[in-house]
Amino acid sequence: MIQSVVSAARERLEAVDELSEYYRLRGTTVPVSVEQIVDQFRLGLDKIMGEASLYAPRLAALAYKQCEGDCYQAVILLRAYRATLERRYHSDVIDVENMHILRRISSSFKEIPGGQILGPTRDYTQRLLDARIAEEDTAEARRAFLDEWHKRLEGATLEPVRQFSRVSDILVREGIMKPVMDDDRSVTDITREPLLFPANRSATLQSLARAETGGLLTFGYAGMRGFGGAHGAVNELRVGRVAVVVTDGRGNKRYVGRLTVTEAAMSGGKRSQGGKKRTRPSMQIGYGLCFGQNETKAICMGMLDNGMRGKETGQAHKELVLYHTEAADAAGFIHHLKMPHYASSQARLQRVRNAVGRMRGMRAVRGIAPVKPRHEQVEMSDMPELE
Amino acid sequence: MAGEMQTFKKFQCNYNFAFIDEATKKEVRRSILKAVCIPGYQVPYSSPEMPIARGWGTGGLHVTLSLVGRDDTLKIIDQGSDASVNACNLRDFVAMTTGCETTYDTAQATLIQSRHRIPEEARRSDQIIVLQVPQPEVLRRVERYERKTREMHAEADYAKLWVVLYEAYVRTGDVVGRAVRVNDRYIMTPSPIPRWDIPQLDIARNLHLFGAGREKRIYAVPPLTPVAPLEFEDIKFRMEDFFETVCASSKHTEAFMDEIYENDAEQAKWVINDSNFLDKILDGCRPPQRRHEYWGQAI
Residue A182 pLDDT exceeds 80: no
The 8 Å CB, 24+ separation contacts for B280-286 are B280/B121, B281/B247, B281/B250, B281/B252, B282/A1, B282/B249, B282/B250
Residue B172 pLDDT exceeds 70: yes
Q: Judge if the upstream peptide bond of residue A370 is cis by omega within 30 degrees of 0.
A: no
Characterize A84-120 residue by residue with b for buried, 16 or more Cβ atoms within 10 angstroms of its Cβ, and e for exposed: beeeeeeeeebeeeebebbbbbbebeeebeeeeeeee
A70, A344, A362: best to mutate for the B interface, most B CBs within 10 A: A344
Distance (Å, rounded) from C-alpha A291 to C-alpha A299? 13
Contact (CB, 8 A) for B156 and B185: yes
Closest-CA distance of chain B to residue A207, Å: 14
Closest-CA distance of chain B to residue A346, Å: 7
Q: Which residues of A touch B35 (CB under 8 A)?
A: none
**Dihedral through CA A279, CA A285, CA A286, CA A291, nearest 10?**
-170
Distance (Å, rounded) from C-alpha A215 to C-alpha B289? 48
Provide the pLDDT for residue A114. Answer: 79
Provide the pLDDT for residue B5. Answer: 39
Provide the pLDDT for residue B11. Answer: 42
In chain A, beta strands by DSSP E: 100-105, 177-178, 233-247, 253-269, 283-291
Provide the pLDDT for residue A302. Answer: 93
Residues 6+ apart with CB under 8 A from B77: B84, B87, B112, B113, B114, B115, B117, B119, B275, B276
Closest-CA distance of chain A to residue B226, Å: 22
What percentage of chain A reaches a pLDDT higher than 90?
42
Q: How far is CA B190 from CA A201, A255, B115, B198, B276, in A?
A: 34, 50, 11, 7, 22
Q: How far is CA A332 from CA A325, A338, B266, in A?
A: 12, 10, 36
Q: Which residues of B touch A315 (CB under 8 A)?
A: 147
Query: Which whole number is the average pLDDT over A372-376?
Result: 51
Element at A282 (helix H, strand E): none
Residue B279 to residue A341, Cβ atoms within 8 A: no
Provide the pLDDT for residue A171. Answer: 83
- Enter the pTM of the model: 0.81
pLDDT tens figures, A234-256: 999 999 999 999 998 899 999 99
Residue B240 to residue A347, Cβ atoms within 8 A: yes
Q: Which residues of B touch A194 (CB under 8 A)?
A: 44-47, 216-217
Choice among A215-229, A367-381, B73-87, B127-141 with the minimum mean pLDDT: A367-381
Residue B9 pLDDT exceeds 50: no
Contact (CB, 8 A) for B257 and B247: yes
Band the pLDDT of B163: cuts 50, 70, 90: very high
* Of B109 and A132, more confident: B109
Residue A359 to residue B173, Cβ atoms within 8 A: yes
Residue A346 to residue B257, Cβ atoms within 8 A: yes
A66, A333, A341, A382: best to mutate for the B interface, most B CBs within 10 A: A333
Residue B299 pLDDT exceeds 60: no
The number of residues making up chain A comes to 387
**Averaging pLDDT over each range in A101-115, B10-24, B102-116, which range is the top one?**
B102-116
The ipTM of this complex is 0.72
Band the pLDDT of B173: cuts 50, 70, 90: confident
Provide the pLDDT for residue B7. Answer: 41
Please report the number of interchain residue pairs, chain A to chain B, with beta-carbon separation below 8 angstroms.
194
Distance (Å, rounded) from C-alpha B126 to C-alpha B146? 35
Residue B46 to residue A194, Cβ atoms within 8 A: yes
Distance (Å, rounded) from C-alpha A163 to C-alpha A113? 11
Distance (Å, rounded) from C-alpha B206 to C-alpha B107? 13
Tell me if residue B258 falls in helix, strand or coil.
Answer: strand
CA-closest candidate to residue B113, choices B203, B18, B39, B48: B18
**Dihedral through CA A259, CA A265, CA A266, CA A271, nearest 10?**
120
Residue B104 pLDDT exceeds 80: yes
Chain-centre distance for alpha carbon A97: 23
Edge-to-edge strands, sheet with A100-105: A100-105, A233-247, A253-269, A283-291, A177-178
Cα nearest neighbour of A352 on chain B: B172
Band the pLDDT of B132: cuts 50, 70, 90: very high
Provide the pLDDT for residue A243. Answer: 95
Contact (CB, 8 A) for A244 and A91: yes
Tell me if residue B101 falls in helix, strand or coil.
Answer: strand
Q: Which residues of A touch B96 (CB under 8 A)?
A: none
B61, B93, B118, B176: best to mutate for the A interface, most A CBs within 10 A: B176
Residue A386 to residue B141, Cβ atoms within 8 A: yes
pLDDT tens figures, A86-130: 888 889 999 988 899 999 998 888 778 778 889 999 888 778 888
Contact (CB, 8 A) for A99 and A264: no
Contact (CB, 8 A) for B107 and B185: no
- DSSP letter at A243 equals E
Residue A219 pLDDT exceeds 50: yes
Residue A229 pLDDT exceeds 70: no
pLDDT tens figures, A305-355: 988 887 667 777 899 999 999 989 999 999 999 988 888 888 888 888 888
Q: Which of B171, B240, B256 sits opposite A382 (nearest CB)?
A: B171
Q: Which of A77, A192, A315 sits opposite B147 (nearest CB)?
A: A315
Residue B88 to residue A13, Cβ atoms within 8 A: yes
Element at A313 (helix H, strand E): helix A312-324
Residue B134 to residue A387, Cβ atoms within 8 A: yes
Q: Which residues of A touch B81 (CB under 8 A)?
A: 5
Distance (Å, rounded) from C-alpha A306 to C-alpha A277? 23
